[in-house]
Amino acid sequence: MPNDAKLGLALGVGLVIVVAALFARKDVGAVPVHAAGTVLAPSPLPPLVPGAAQTAGATAAPTSEGRSHTVQEGETLISLAQQYYGDRSRACEIYHANRDVLMAPDRLPAGAVLRIPDLPASADNCPP
C-alpha cells in the first residue's frame, strides 16, 4: 500500500474517532454562545454558606411541608443540604422527600422542582 494511502487512512480513522468523541460528549463542557457569536462566560456558582441569599433561579417558597427548590445546572443534593440546612450530611433527607422525582441520589435533572422538607428538631432519618 502506498504511503499516501496509509496517511489518508490514518487521518480518516482519526477524524472518525474525534467526531464520535465529540458527539458522545456533546453536553459536557458546552460553552454558551451569544447570538452575535461571542462566547459567554459561565456564571460563578453561589457560595455554600448557611443563610446566604438564594440564587436567582432557585425558589424557596415555604409550604406546610417545607419549601420547594428548582434545580440549577451543577447542583447536588449535598450542596442543597448545605444551602438549606447548613449540614451536608442531611442530603439524604432531601433525597427521601423526593424519591418520586429523583431516580438516583447522584442525578439531579436541571429544572426539576424538589421539596425541601423542614427538619424535625430531634429526629434523624439519615444513616450515620
Q: Across the 128 residues of the chain, what is the mean pLDDT of every consecutive 10-residue run?
A: 86 84 59 50 49 45 69 93 92 90 87 88 58
Q: pLDDT at position 17, please?
A: 86
What integer pLDDT is reported at residue 114 of this predicted model? 93
Question: For position 98, what pLDDT does the model report?
Answer: 92
Q: Write the DSSP assignment of 52-65 as a string of letters.
A: PPPPTT-----BTT
pLDDT score for 2: 86
In angstroms, the CA 60 to CA 128 distance is 27
Q: Identify the pLDDT of residue 124.
A: 58
3-state helix, strand, coil in the chain (%, to 5): 30, 10, 60
> Cβ(116)–Cβ(98) under 8 Å?
no
Domains identified in the chain and CATH numbers: 67-116 (3.10.350.10)
